[in-house]
Structure 1
Amino acid sequence: MTRDELYINNTKADLNKTDITLSYKSNLLTDISKIISNRSYTIRLPKTAKNLALIECSHLPSSISRYPYLKHKGTLLRNGVKMIKNANVVLLETGETIEVALTWGNVTNFAGVVNDGKKLTDITHGTVEGVDWVVWSNKGSNSAQFPLIDYGFNSDDPNVWYHPVVTVKWILDKIQEQSGVTFNFPSDKLTVINKMIIPLLTRNDSQEIYDAYPMTLKVTGYDSSIIKFEAVGDSTQQYVSTNGSRDIYPKFDSTLKLKGTIEVSYTYSQGIDYLNTPFQITVYSTPTKQEEIINIYKPAAYIEPPYIRLVYSFDTSATVYKDGYFIISSGNGKQPINSVSGSLSVTITEREEDVLLGEKFPLVPNLPDIKQIDFIKAVASMVGLFALPDGENGIKFIPFDNLSANKSKAVDWTNRVIMAYNSVTPRNLQYTLDNIAQNNWFRYKEDDNVMGNYDGNIQVDDATIEYERDAITLPFSACSTKGGVAYIPLYSYNEEGELEYNKTNPRILLLDGTKGIFKGLEWTTLIANNYQTYKGLINNAKVVTEYIRLNSIELRDLEMDIPVYLAQYGCYLAIIEITTKENDICECKLLKL
């Protein structure tokens, strides 16, 4: 007889005499975004005073308790063995009994990655050079950060350079760090993953970087009532220039935040309302077209005979134009300036153009527009891995080949089988797997600009199932090869010979020294290297269902990537699902290897 003990929030619940049914499911052949939690079937608790207190009297309509809407910590002991700890218990409903269910083995923090829909560009980032941004400039030669990839531009074009790349490992590390989930990859697969790179094909800017690196307009003098400035800042943050004149020339159409103080001294005259004498920012969209005048009022005033010194505080925004200019002037032009000093910090808050050559190139804002879970799924699928929970907040990636390699560790369940028939035949035998077709296509994202076909197909010789399906479609497009490197048509030239920047789909490549290559990432190659065991699993599939006697300790210590052996059938089998019944009897669904 089975003796179960259920603790909810560390309080022992009263149980009925019926056993709690548990279901253990493998993630073999399962999408990583659908990592399956082990679960119990509905547990019906008697409505004892203890259990009603445990659920905070949530069985009453008048109850204001949040208990039904929260997850609770559960622990299950079976025959004195702690089988399940840190389970999630939820209250399903109340009626004649109190119905609860528990799930366990799920990766708590990973649920946030899956369910929140976070994209790669949602990864938080800082403002440190070499970590969060690099200078996009002609380096003279290629490197691991700026590898040789054919983007379609001429190598001697002074207006463009090879785009930076980041490694797949760099992205995975960021996701782990910010989600609290640990990824455990097998070493041989990690060797391949460490060679994978993601070219940054967009040219998005970063407000965080603009805010961290403002440029400065330093007052150098005046020309009549117009203030003259010197533009101070390194070459990567020259948002405006002055060219030694009083006019200030924007580098591109943008909205600038001007912040700081300017002090101006006049000869004091009675009758002038100095507090309402403005500083003015006058913006021109072309050399002759005035767009707007922005007035700065209410200076701090200090009478210093025979002068009055006014201190203007700037904290204002101005939309400026690359085909025009703007000036900053004192008052209404009627008061002659005695002296002027100060400086303004200049930060971009909006920008029309993409990042230009010579500027700071942010890394995270230019990652592909892909959900984090889809990125993880893509990388795992390319190297033939399925995922298993590994502790509370870990994910262990397992090669399909492990199932065959682990035959030496197989658990012998031969003498535990409760045979259904006098003959040596399974209780139930199925010949197909769910979601498998005669042709199972592994694809890259469709792109009309890619020459050649880089998809792959695993065929199943079974005329009774669906003809074809898309098993995997990566969020990346494939690449053709030119001159021994990957070709990505990011740039082209128009009829006038002018360089044009084109939007294109995300890509994934391998780093070969200082070159970005696609060779080795064709699906035919990936399947040949990583899917041989998988091909054997889905061809001539046989799913065996048997009743097998397993005690509490054996269930607790189950390893889903270790096969079992049944001598009566002379074969090894992978665990798909185990459902507990009474008296240590379990219904086991097993896939023949």
Structure 2
Amino acid sequence: MKEELYIDNKPVDLGSGTNVTLSYKSNFLSDVSKIVSNNSYTINLPLTARNKRVIEGAHIPSCSTRFPRINHAGRYVRNGVELISKGNVSLLEINDGIDIALSWGNVTKFASIVNDNKTLRDLSYDETSYISWIRPSSGAFFPPMYFIDYGFKDTDETIWYHPCMSVKSILQRIQEDCGVTFNIHSRSDMLDRLIIPLTTRYDSDIVSEGSAEELVFANRSYRFDSPIGYFVLFESREIDNFYYAAHYLTNEVSGTFISGIRNKFKNTKYRVSGQMKFKVSGEYENLSLTGYLMRRYGDDDMFTLFSASGTIQGDYYVIEIDSETDVLDCTGSNHLMYFYLTGIASSATTVTDISGSITIQAVAFPTPAPASGDDTINNRYYYIPNLPDIKQIDFIKGVMSMLGLFAIPGDDNQIEFYPIEYILENKSRKYDWSKYLVSTYMDNRPISMSFSYSEFAQNNVYAYDEDDYGKYSGIIKVNDETLDLEKEAITLPFIPTETNGDKAYIPLYTYDDEGNLQYDEDDDARILLLPSVNSTKPTFIGLSWPELIDKNYKGYKSIVAEQKVINVSIRIREVDLKDLDMSIPVYLSQYGKYYAIVSIQVGENGICKCELFQLED
């Protein structure tokens, strides 16, 4: 047998004792989070001059090469057939030889989705990734708004239907962020109709963090406003962002200063942090930096927004500020955020040698604007910050489980998603390896045979989150009394949604005794189904597990009802391994059965150890 191995397109020497054992894995019947790349067992290369050059002298302790710390392109040729054309090689260890590992059908980028614990809200977006949340004068519905009963009255002009996001578009964003490609080979009709209602009203972190501005305290005599305290000013600079703008005070003698902050939107709150340091002489009690919302003229309608006290440190009084205001509902130049040093009884107490700064950052919660417009309302509804706070991998697992699809790794970070029916329908394209079967026993029996696969029970429960009474749960049965009676097979990260008449019911809004609209934040993940792609009334109809199992798990139920897994040795030709498709079943005439490939271990002389799952007729 002739073998050739290339690292970064450079040939390496294979010693007489070098074994290249390849392992193919199909992820058969497993969820997508358990998908792994095909890989070799550890390959030990001899320490020849050529191999030392290829690894850039990494065998020398004083060598500073990065070769061991990065992945390298790998190719493997056996008997003139290139079995692996786009592999990854990593250097494991230097001992009496060079230990490397080879992987292909690479899913390293997908592994980052599994391992990094990123949520849907971690998906990338920019400042333009929002919809203008407007209540149209006609009351018309159009995507991404859908007719869902949120609990408010149709006649209430202060609120409107929340946006939704299609499952397909969320999957697309995950692919773009992680550099993977999902090839979904079935169930497109249902996938195209799945949507995620966005039930929260969060602002964009990107825009909010971009609003952070530093205000440097002005070191000058402060005006005393009795009975409040000393009026605080800041060094002048231009501040005018999406949320707020600086208000200025000009004195012919002293110059121009920032005297306050003009809030632009209702439903806005501020985070204030920083330090103020100064010397104080005279009487004071509970000396604090306090923020007020005040009318520009007169001190009536004055509201405390935050207050931070300090401590004496040597000759200075130091105030550390880390506060968050309540939600402001006043806008415009008549109401401003002012800052005072409070706790001072009179102007006889002096404040000097002032230094430090504060940073302010705003968050404006989105609110639907009337069709005629309203400049005091932030109606930018950002999609990503309002997606369910669930892990990306749990979202993928949940959607693919609902569709009854399992994953197979492909080349170039592609993941192939197939239903079990796809394997069953591929019997006409079967791999007939009957004449290559290597007999272990006189009666042609397999090397071994087991009667259960994976972790099944007699009753395998498929459920939704928080469905405590199992109203929407379903069961797939396995006809095997030796198994545990019951286990939880899958619990989706979504909660069920009740249906009110012909539409979904999500109780986000209620009214108090005085008829005022109340928003009850709902951070639970939900998923809904449109009756047709052009429908505007999504519901939960069709998404209960009994309905999903009946529609998407027919083939799955038939093959897991009575399981049989065999291990056999087959002499598989290199040309068959080169284009091996895990979605095509194997036929063995010795047993008169078709089998799904679970794994293939390719050893010396072309003898392969194969684990095969029997497909019942």
Q: Under TM normalisation by the shorter chain, which class is it?
A: 0.7 to 0.9
> 2:482 and 2:551 mapped to 1: Cα distance?
28
> 1:576 and 1:174 mapped to 2: Cα distance?
31
Residue correspondences, number = 500
Read off the aligned partner of 2:546 and give its amino acid letter. Answer: T
Change (3 A) 1:591 1:143: same
> 1:285 and 1:158 mapped to 2: Cα distance?
28
Report the counterpart of residue 203 of structure 1 in structure 2: 201
After superposing on structure 2, the runs of 4+ consecutive aligned residues of structure 1 that deviate more than 6 Å are 210-213
8 A contact 1:255–1:349 mirrored in 2:
no
Q: 2:404 aligns with which of 373, 384, 404?
A: 384
8 A contact 1:136–1:163 mirrored in 2:
no
Report the counterpart of residue 5 of structure 1 in structure 2: 4
Change (3 A) 1:211 1:547: closer
Read off the aligned partner of 2:14 and give its amino acid letter. Answer: L
Q: 2:365 aligns with which of 333, 342, 354?
A: 354
Report the counterpart of residue 160 of structure 2 in structure 1: 161
| CA deviation map 1:244-270 (0-9, x unaligned) | xxxxxxxxxx9954269x797x9xxxx
Q: Which runs of 5+ in 2 are unaligned?
A: 212-240, 262-290, 295-299, 307-323, 339-359, 370-378
Task: Verify: 1:511 aligned to 2:520, yes or no.
Answer: no
Change (3 A) 1:328 1:274: farther
Report the counterpart of residue 189 of structure 1 in structure 2: 187
> 1:528 and 1:545 mapped to 2: Cα distance?
32
Q: 1:402 aligns with which of 397, 410, 422?
A: 422
| CA deviation map 1:77-108 (0-9, x unaligned) | 11121111221112222222221111111134
Change (3 A) 1:415 1:159: same
Change (3 A) 1:472 1:95: same
| CA deviation map 1:528-561 (0-9, x unaligned) | 1111211122221111111111121111111100
Report the counterpart of residue 329 of structure 2 in structure 1: 322
8 A contact 1:6–1:74 mirrored in 2:
yes
How many angstroms does 1:464 deviate by? 1.7
> 1:466 and 1:445 mapped to 2: Cα distance?
23
8 A contact 2:36–2:107 mirrored in 1:
no
Report the counterpart of residue 236 of structure 1 in structure 2: none
8 A contact 1:121–1:367 mirrored in 2:
yes
Report the counterpart of residue 289 of structure 1 in structure 2: 302
Q: Which runs of 5+ in 1 are unaligned?
A: 214-253, 267-271, 294-317, 330-347
Q: TM-score, normalized by length of structure 1?
A: 0.77
Task: Verify: 1:574 aligned to 2:585, yes or no.
Answer: no
Report the counterpart of residue 288 of structure 2 in structure 1: none
Change (3 A) 1:23 1:125: same
Query: What does 1:358-507 align with in structure 2 at a 5 Å threshold?
Result: 358=369, 359-446=379-466, 453-504=471-522, 505-507=524-526
| CA deviation map 1:490-542 (0-9, x unaligned) | 22334554433223311100123111111001111111111121112222111
How many angstroms does 1:279 deviate by? 5.5
8 A contact 1:72–1:89 mirrored in 2:
yes
8 A contact 2:104–2:411 mirrored in 1:
no
Q: TM-score, normalized by length of structure 2?
A: 0.74
| CA deviation map 1:387-411 (0-9, x unaligned) | 1223313222111111111111111
Read off the aligned partner of 1:556 and give its amino acid letter. Answer: K
Read off the aligned partner of 1:476 and give its amino acid letter. Answer: F
Report the counterpart of residue 272 of structure 2 in structure 1: none
> 2:564 and 2:474 mapped to 1: Cα distance?
25
Q: 1:565 aligns with which of 582, 587, 590?
A: 587
Report the counterpart of residue 172 of structure 1 in structure 2: 171
8 A contact 1:117–1:371 mirrored in 2:
yes
Query: What does 1:65-80 align with in structure 2 at a 5 Å threshold?
Result: 65-80=65-80
How many angstroms does 1:439 deviate by? 1.7
Read off the aligned partner of 1:509 and give its amino acid letter. Answer: L
Report the counterpart of residue 558 of structure 2 in structure 1: 536
How many angstroms does 1:208 deviate by? 4.8
8 A contact 1:136–1:164 mirrored in 2:
no
Report the counterpart of residue 62 of structure 1 in structure 2: 62
> 1:95 and 1:393 mapped to 2: Cα distance?
32
How many angstroms does 1:43 deviate by? 0.9
Larger mean CA deviation between 565-574 and 81-90 belongs to 81-90
How many angstroms does 1:413 deviate by? 0.9
Q: State, as a whole percentage, how many aligned pairs show the same letter.
A: 43
> 1:179 and 1:444 mapped to 2: Cα distance?
27
8 A contact 1:440–1:470 mirrored in 2:
yes
Read off the aligned partner of 2:526 and give its amino acid letter. Answer: R
How many angstroms does 1:372 deviate by? 2.0
How many angstroms does 1:127 deviate by? 3.9
Report the counterpart of residue 258 of structure 1 in structure 2: 245
8 A contact 1:127–1:212 mirrored in 2:
no
- SS of the aligned residue for 2:187 comes to helix
- SS of the aligned residue for 2:538 comes to strand
Larger mean CA deviation between 152-161 and 196-205 belongs to 152-161
| CA deviation map 1:203-250 (0-9, x unaligned) | 01125567999xxxxxxxxxxxxxxxxxxxxxxxxxxxxxxxxxxxxx
How many angstroms does 1:292 deviate by? 9.6
Q: 1:280 aligns with which of 249, 256, 259?
A: 259
> 2:53 and 2:96 mapped to 1: Cα distance?
16
Report the counterpart of residue 305 of structure 1 in structure 2: none
Read off the aligned partner of 2:418 and give its amino acid letter. Answer: I
Change (3 A) 1:588 1:507: same
> 2:484 and 2:63 mapped to 1: Cα distance?
52
8 A contact 1:144–1:514 mirrored in 2:
yes
- SS of the aligned residue for 2:157 comes to coil
> 1:279 and 1:99 mapped to 2: Cα distance?
66
Report the counterpart of residue 333 of structure 1 in structure 2: none
> 1:327 and 1:495 mapped to 2: Cα distance?
32
Read off the aligned partner of 1:356 and give its amino acid letter. Answer: T
Report the counterpart of residue 233 of structure 1 in structure 2: none
8 A contact 2:38–2:106 mirrored in 1:
yes
Read off the aligned partner of 1:544 and give its amino acid letter. Answer: I
- SS of the aligned residue for 1:285 comes to strand
> 2:470 and 2:100 mapped to 1: Cα distance?
55
How many angstroms does 1:568 deviate by? 1.1
Read off the aligned partner of 2:583 and give its amino acid letter. Answer: D
Change (3 A) 1:38 1:328: closer
Read off the aligned partner of 1:92 and give its amino acid letter. Answer: L
> 1:498 and 1:447 mapped to 2: Cα distance?
31
> 2:7 and 2:337 mapped to 1: Cα distance?
69
> 1:7 and 1:83 mapped to 2: Cα distance?
12
- SS of the aligned residue for 2:182 comes to strand
Read off the aligned partner of 1:258 and give its amino acid letter. Answer: A
> 1:159 and 1:42 mapped to 2: Cα distance?
65
Change (3 A) 1:136 1:421: same
| CA deviation map 1:281-300 (0-9, x unaligned) | 3874363437699xxxxxxx
